[in-house]
Chains A and B, each alone.
Chain A
Amino acid sequence: DSGVTQTPKHLITATGQRVTLRCSPRSGDLSVYWYQQSLDQGLQFLIQYYNGEERAKGNILERFSAQQFPDLHSELNLSSLELGDSALYFCASSVRGRGPNTGELFFGEGSRLTVL
């Protein structure tokens, strides 16, 4: 158990719909990262937040957005869903405190999204 909690574990929805994925980082971890893993693209970095502020952005689509709340949990919102958005979405948090360069990331078990 990494200490990072993601909900829901599985989600099935239809094209055009909107979903929200939730991530609770390890207690005290200030950084949250979102990754998408599909069969053909591998693990792709989407976005990172540090203590409520956006820190880095990867290949995140404009239809996707995220935020980190004052209690440090994070949500990834996916809208106007397409078949190609079907994937595993992972959240990770980095070690407690300011997250030094060498800090390891702790990953949740992922949310599996299926778009029909």
Chain B
Amino acid sequence: DAKTTQPNSMESNEEEPVHLPCNHSTISGTDYIHWYRQLPSQGPEYVIHGLTSNVNNRMASLAIAEDRKSSTLILHRATLRDAAVYYCILRGGANSKLTFGKGITLSVRP
């Protein structure tokens, strides 16, 4: 599985936008970029995914670099409930597993 690199942690203020970076320089052409998050004491939760184009959904936006070697998860207005570990994962192949790294721990200050 191609690897991703994320900072260990990030802090943000409530109601401000948050940009969580991810590097994946060895991404292959068929790899999708997935983001999951894990709130304290819960199972991981899907956030968003994309292939080449930027994506938006009700939770977040995903900005993908033109060369696909990096991406950024954008939370438009952080809330206290967004404090979690965010995982950037490359997923290749039909019905394939997700390989989780260490993720980035997001703290949100009131």
Most buried by A among B42, B43, B87, B92: B43
How many pairs, one residue from A and one from B, have CB atoms within 8 Å of each other in the complex? 65
CB of B60, distance to nearest CB on chain A (Å) = 13
Partner of B97, one of A48, A104, A109: A48
Q: Chain B's interface: helix, strand, loop or mixed, by majority?
A: loop
Please tell me if the beta carbons of B96 and A56 are within 8 angstroms of each other in the complex.
yes
Could you jot down 10 A-B contacts, CB within 8 Å? A31-B95, A43-B44, A44-B100, A56-B96, A92-B44, A98-B94, A102-B49, A102-B91, A104-B34, A109-B42
Residues of A within 8 A of B (CB): 2, 4, 31, 33, 35, 42-45, 48, 50, 55-56, 58, 90, 92, 94, 98-110
Q: How far is the CA of A31 from the CA of B49 in the complex (A)?
A: 19
Give the total of B residues in contact with A, Cβ under 8 Å. Answer: 26
Most buried by A among B94, B95, B96: B95
Taking CB atoms, residues of chain B closer than 8 Å to A90 are: 43-44
Partner of B95, one of A2, A35, A58, A101: A101
Most buried by B among A35, A101, A102, A103: A101
Please tell me if the beta carbons of A107 and B97 are within 8 angstroms of each other in the complex.
no
Please tell me if the beta carbons of B46 and A105 are within 8 angstroms of each other in the complex.
yes
Please tell me if the beta carbons of B100 and A107 are within 8 angstroms of each other in the complex.
no
Would you list the 10 A-B pairs with minimal beta carbon distance, nearest first? A107-B43, A104-B46, A43-B100, A99-B95, A101-B94, A107-B44, A45-B97, A90-B43, A56-B97, A48-B97
Please tell me if the beta carbons of A105 and B98 are within 8 angstroms of each other in the complex.
yes
Residues of B within 8 A of A (CB): 30, 32, 34, 36, 38, 42-46, 49, 51, 87, 91-103
Q: Chain A's interface: helix, strand, loop or mixed, by majority?
A: strand
Taking CB atoms, residues of chain A closer than 8 Å to B43 are: 2, 4, 90, 92, 107-110
CB of B3, distance to nearest CB on chain A (Å) = 14
Partner of A101, one of B91, B102, B103: B91
Please tell me if the beta carbons of B32 and A101 are within 8 angstroms of each other in the complex.
yes
Taking CB atoms, residues of chain B closer than 8 Å to A107 are: 43-45
